């Protein structure tokens, strides 16, 4: 489609687009900038935008808090761990549903989706009690288990839509060529599915990293990931804006970058393939 676009029109939309983009991004940018200010500059009126004395002091201070690294580790362990376990459960399931569908495959998929619709408060009480009785409260293991189950439907769905795109004839060809089921998976399916698996993984790490219902309710000091750590700034430490900003920047930066890489998959993953 070679539509002609006048320069003037393009210029108008460039200004409009950038204005909107910067406006929406501004809170993040502002957090980033504030993280380099002293506490005094952070609350200054009028606000200081760029021309202040940049300092790394806040980052030093946040990181020197004895428990900071623990929360980072918790976040990494919980998000990566739950995603990996989820993948291990979901890859065979999605493979089966995509390549040997039965009449009930659709029902199973829809049912999996429906578990995702359950509001977390609906099961908060029993889960809290089970966790208390089994000694899982405030443990990484418990959170990994919960987040695995929460994101499993999304993982299955995403993988299913990716696997669906691998033509069945190719796997049949492999079977004609004498590949056993194992070899079929190792030599043909996996290499073709790796991009899909990778983006599923990325998106689910992001979702698990940002999950803020179970992480807030089932953890205290030990297993709390960054979501809960930041929540502890709500009062009264929230008055220390510069430190809050530094902690926030560190908590969101890696995920933001991953998110930018996975933006295409985001749509597919979050709409369960309804919009591609």
Footprint of other proteins on 194-253 (CB under 8 A)? 206, 209-210, 212-213, 216-217, 226-228, 230-231, 233-234, 238-239, 241, 244-245, 248, 251-252
Tokens encoding 272: 């369960």
Rounded to 5 degrees, φ, ψ at 269 are: -65, -40
Q: How far is the CB of 182 from other proteins (least distance, A)?
A: 11
Q: Is residue 182 near other proteins by the rule CB under 8 A? A: no
Q: Which is nearer to other proteins, 140 or 240 (CB)?
A: 240
**Residue list 121-180, contact with other proteins (CB under 8 A):** 121-130, 149, 152-153, 156, 167-180
Tokens encoding 256: 């933001």
Among 89, 138, 139, 198, binds other proteins (CB under 8 A): 89
Binding mask 24-63 for other proteins (x = CB under 8 A): xx-xx-xx--x-------xx-xxx----------------
Burial zone of 72 (CB within 10 Å; 0-12 exposed, 13-18 middle, 19+ buried)? middle
Length of the chain: 276
DSSP 138: T
Q: Do residues 241 and 34 lie in contact, with contact meaning Cβ atoms separated by under 8 Å?
A: yes
Q: How far is the CB of 54 from other proteins (least distance, A)?
A: 17
Report CA torsion sign: 69, 74, 75, 80. Answer: positive
Q: Is residue 16 near other proteins by the rule CB under 8 A? A: yes
Tell me which residue of 100, 76, 253 sits closest to 184, measured CA to CA.
100
Q: Do residues 166 and 189 lie in contact, with contact meaning Cβ atoms separated by under 8 Å?
A: yes
Rounded to 5 degrees, φ, ψ at 17 are: -60, -45
Q: Is residue 186 near other proteins by the rule CB under 8 A? A: no
Q: Which is nearer to other proteins, 135 or 238 (CB)?
A: 238
Q: Which is nearer to other proteins, 28 or 141 (CB)?
A: 28
**Rounded CA gap, 209 and 178, in Å?**
43
Q: How far is the CB of 3 from other proteins (least distance, A)?
A: 8
Among 8, 40, 66, 191, binds other proteins (CB under 8 A): 191
């Amino acid at each position: 489609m070679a539509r002609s676009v006048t320069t003037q029109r393009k210029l108008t939309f460039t200004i409009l687009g950038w204005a909107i983009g910067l406006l929406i991004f501004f809170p993040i940018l502002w957090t980033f900038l504030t993280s380099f200010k002293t506490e005094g500059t952070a609350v200054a009126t009028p606000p200081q935008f760029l021309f202040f004395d940049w300092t790394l002091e806040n980052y030093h201070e946040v990181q020197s808090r004895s428990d900071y690294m623990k929360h980072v580790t918790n976040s990494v362990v919980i998000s990566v761990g739950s995603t990996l376990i989820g993948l291990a459960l979901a890859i065979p399931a999605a493979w089966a549903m995509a390549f040997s569908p039965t009449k009930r495959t659709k029902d199973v998929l829809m049912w999996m989706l429906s578990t995702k619709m359950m509001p977390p408060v609906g099961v908060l009480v029993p889960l809290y009690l089970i966790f208390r009785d089994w000694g899982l409260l405030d443990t990484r293991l418990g959170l990994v288990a919960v987040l695995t189950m929460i994101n499993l439907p999304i993982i299955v769905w995403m993988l299913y839509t990716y696997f669906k795109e691998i033509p069945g004839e190719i796997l049949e060809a492999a079977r004609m060529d004498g590949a056993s089921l194992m070899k079929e998976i190792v030599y043909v399916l996996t290499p073709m599915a790796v991009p899909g698996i990778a983006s599923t993984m990325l998106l689910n790490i992001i979702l698990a990293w940002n999950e803020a219902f179970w992480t807030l309710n089932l953890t205290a000091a030990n297993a709390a990931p960054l979501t809960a750590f930041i929540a502890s700034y709500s009062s009264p430490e929230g008055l220390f804006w510069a430190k809050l900003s530094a902690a926030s920047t560190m908590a969101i930066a890696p995920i933001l970058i991953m998110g930018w890489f996975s933006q295409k998959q985001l749509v597919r993953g979050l709409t369960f393939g309804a919009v591609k």
